[in-house]
Chain A
Amino acid sequence: GAGVSQSPRYKVAKRGQDVALRCDPISGHVSLFWYQQALGQGPEFLTYFQNEAQLDKSGLPSDRFFAERPEGSVSTLKIQRTQQEDSAVYLCASSLETSMNFGPGTRLTVT
């Protein structure tokens, strides 16, 4: 079956631009997570959804970051007025119980 997919795979944005990153989780997976992975680091938690409810957004670095999952399936992570420090790989993961399935990530480069 299909795994978690993310698009675009690569995004180059000029500083100040807004970007939207999409995640298609595994069908039927209730839980969805966004993580940010900076170069040479491990993934860091951004936010967590259970169905359409955003239960935890404590990891979002600033109010420029916004995530939604309006129908409990596809999720979008939006970053407004991108800054250079936003350059990272953004990973989406979905899970049914304990094991988390990660997508391939979107590599965002802010120039």
Chain B
Amino acid sequence: DQQVKQNSPSLSVQEGRISILNCDYTNSMFDYFLWYKKYPAEGPTFLISISSIKDKNEDGRFTVFLNKSAKHLSLHIVPSQPGDSAVYFCAASDDYKLSFGAGTTVTVRA
């Protein structure tokens, strides 16, 4: 059973506009949430994270929002750039183990 779900397999956005990626989870024991970015033939690289005691974390163009009551988090990328084209994975942590969503492929159009 998937504890972390990314319901949008793909997202296409114009350069300069905002990209919004969504993620839902079911396990209320998750205490830390992360977003990873993956290019083809490379491993996932850490992008941004948020603790369950916060509702927002911002790092440059990337902002993660957490809504614990809805068990939902989102990643905002603004402005989107061509180099942002990649697969984005949402992950949630319960102690040392990460549970991942299936990923959302983002394509930034020039």
The answer, yes or no, to whether A66 is at the interface (CB within 8 Å) is no
Contact (Cβ within 8 A) B43 A105: yes
Q: Is the interface of B mostly helix, strand, loop or mixed?
A: strand
| CB neighbors of B among A31-57 (8 A) | 31, 33, 35, 40-45, 48, 56
- State whether the Cβ of A12 lies closer than 8 Å to any Cβ in chain B: no
A104 vs B44: C-alpha distance when bound (angstroms): 8
Question: Once bound together, how far apart are the Cα atoms of A61 and B52, in whole Å?
Answer: 30
Bound CA span A56–B75, Å: 30
Instruction: Pick out which of these stretches binds chain B: A14-22, A67-75, A76-84, A95-103.
Output: A95-103
Interface of A is mostly: strand
Q: Which chain B residues lie closer than 8 Å to A93 at the CB level?
A: 43
Is A40 a contact of B102 with CB atoms below 8 Å?
yes
C-alpha gap A35/B96 in the complex (Å): 13
Chain A residues lying within 8 Å of B97, measured Cβ to Cβ, are: 45, 48, 56
7 closest pairs, A vs B, by CB?
Answer: A42-B100, A102-B43, A104-B43, A102-B44, A43-B100, A42-B102, A103-B43
